[in-house]
């Protein structure tokens, strides 16, 4: 649908293709589980959660993946070393697809990546994430784990600046190589509503210049405004705003979207299905929507 100057790379991770290529592959939708204050979690530090409710949630998620044929992955948020084995075992045994590991500290990163290496899950893991601030110790931990895929978050203090994100990517590609990453997924960094449009523009730039699979955590645009949106527009307004934010990257050729809490699967998968189905008809005519 979008014709870019650079050849578009496609990485196959644990049997799932990430990268839309020439438009042959659908975007990948990534939802988070066990996030901060998730109703499933009773004790974040100990990694205790409602297993029955979590299993039901993941099975419902897989059902809509099967219905829409849109790939869906799980971002496993791990807040503490004690939660590592419990969360990873639960998700990896229930779902036979790759999954992301999302950690807050170096200690949790080390524990989690050592664990996936020891239990033979390295080939199914995407590390979330490396940033320009990642130190050599983090790169060494990732290298030793055998994990070959990581999200490269284009974090920058120059939030409203596409060029700053490109600079961050160049730095991160060097770090990723040192960490043994061969399947980098580029996250163009959304922090708020103003940065959403910049991140969307950066997706187009990254794909045109580097051809790497690219997306963003678009839901962050709404997260900081959630309270205000609820006061003005109600719960339905918040949900509509979140869906609009998440679907915008899909319309603009993103290869993946981190759409926030997994519960949002009910809206994002059907919406993405409509966009990708419509685009498929134009592709059959051999036409591009935009050339960059």
For residue range 226-276, list pLDDT tens digits in order: 999 999 999 999 999 999 999 999 999 999 999 999 999 999 999 999 999
Average pLDDT, stretch 145-156? 99
- Amino acid 9: pLDDT: 97
CATH 3.20.20.20 applies to domain 25-280: yes
For residue range 159-183, list pLDDT tens digits in order: 999 999 999 999 999 999 999 999 9
Strand partners, 28: 256
pTM of the predicted protein model: 0.97
For residue range 49-97, list pLDDT tens digits in order: 999 999 999 999 999 999 999 999 999 999 999 999 999 999 999 999 9
> At 150, is the pLDDT very low, low, confident or very high (cuts 50, 70, 90)?
very high
Rounded CA separation 178/153 (Å): 16
For CA atoms 138, 139, 142, 143, the dihedral sign is negative
- Domain locations along the chain: 25-280
> At 114, is the pLDDT very low, low, confident or very high (cuts 50, 70, 90)?
very high
- Amino acid 158: pLDDT: 96
């Amino acid at each position: 649908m979008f014709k870019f100057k650079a050849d578009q790379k496609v990485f196959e991770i644990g049997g799932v293709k990430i990268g839309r290529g020439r438009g042959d592959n659908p975007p990948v939708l990534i939802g988070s589980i066990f996030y901060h204050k998730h109703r499933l979690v009773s004790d974040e530090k100990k990694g205790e959660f409602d297993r029955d409710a979590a299993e039901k949630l993941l099975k419902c998620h897989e059902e809509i993946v099967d219905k829409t044929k849109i790939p869906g992955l799980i971002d496993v948020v791990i807040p503490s070393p004690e939660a590592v084995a419990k969360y990873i075992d639960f998700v990896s045994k229930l779902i036979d697809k790759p999954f992301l590991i999302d950690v807050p500290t170096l200690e949790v990163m080390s524990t989690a990546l050592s664990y996936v290496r020891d239990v033979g899950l390295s080939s199914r893991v995407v590390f979330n994430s490396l940033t320009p601030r990642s130190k050599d110790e983090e790169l060494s931990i990732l290298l030793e784990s055998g994990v070959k895929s990581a999200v490269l978050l284009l974090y920058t203090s120059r939030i409203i600046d596409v060029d700053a994100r490109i600079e961050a990517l160049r730095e991160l590609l060097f770090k990723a190589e040192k960490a043994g990453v061969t399947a980098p997924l580029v996250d163009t960094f959304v922090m708020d509503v103003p940065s959403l449009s910049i991140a969307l523009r950066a997706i187009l730039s990254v794909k045109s210049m580097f051809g790497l699979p690219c997306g963003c955590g678009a839901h962050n645009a709404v997260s900081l405004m959630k309270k205000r949106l609820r006061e003005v527009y109600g719960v339905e307004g918040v949900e509509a705003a979140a869906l609009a934010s998440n679907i915008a990257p899909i319309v603009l050729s993103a290869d993946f979207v981190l759409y926030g809490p997994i519960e949002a699967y009910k809206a994002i998968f059907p919406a993405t299905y409509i966009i990708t189905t419509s685009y498929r008809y134009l592709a059959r005519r051999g036409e591009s929507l935009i050339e960059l």
